Amino acid sequence: MVLEEIDGLAVEDKESMSGLCANQISEIGSSSSNETHSIEADEDGAEITCFSENVRDVALHFQIIRLQKQIYAWIGCNSAKFGHLYAAAFTRPNNTVSITSILGGSSDNTGSSIARRLVLKTGLNIVLACNIPKNSPMLEADAELILVKKLISLGYTRAKPQLYPALK
């Protein structure tokens, strides 16, 4: 069963879609234009979006996978390396955001702060892979801004959870 045809290629399953996005990222990594490739899989409800942006003379590559109750996002800087992997989610009883490092060291917290803020802005669980250089706060801020704008444009944000709805 063919889910979608992109650039003459028929995409049939998730492995093909992930590989396709990775191939497109490597192809467009050197270009200065903002190209977006989005693939939607109706069977599982997962949607994969890949795009690149040039910011401060650096190529930032993004991949967003929207699942039913969470978002997986990858931010690559100048290459298709995976980087550190973080998971963030609201925790009970007071709806604070908890973050954990799944892969990578704890000394580099570039992606953890982005993951925390994405949970606050989207209201969804976030799994974030990030290989932005450690000492680049402006690049980190730009990457986060681009990612948040894309999530909003795709409609992936939800209303913030209300801490005390009875007080209104």
Full-model pTM: 0.70
Give the separation between CA 136 and CA 148, rounded to whole angstroms.
18
Distance between terminal CA atoms of the chain?
Answer: 50
pLDDT at 42 over 90: no
At residue 146, the pLDDT reads 96
Q: Which residues contact 150 (CB under 8 A, 6 or more apart)?
A: 49, 51, 62, 64
At residue 56, the pLDDT reads 87
Residue 148 counted as domain residue = yes
**What single-letter amino acid sits at 100?**
T
Residue 165 counted as domain residue = no
Residue 99 counted as domain residue = yes
CATH number of the CATH domain containing 59? 3.30.230.90
What does pLDDT average to over the chain? Answer: 75
Taking residues 30-57, report their average pLDDT. 71
Banded model confidence at residue 89, pLDDT cuts 50, 70, 90 = very high
Banded model confidence at residue 135, pLDDT cuts 50, 70, 90 = confident
Residue 19 counted as domain residue = yes
At residue 82, the pLDDT reads 86
Give the separation between CA 58 and CA 133, rounded to whole angstroms.
11
At residue 27, the pLDDT reads 41
Domain that holds residue 58: 4-158
Residue 166 counted as domain residue = no
Banded model confidence at residue 134, pLDDT cuts 50, 70, 90 = confident
pLDDT at 111 over 90: no
The total number of structural domains that make up the chain: 1
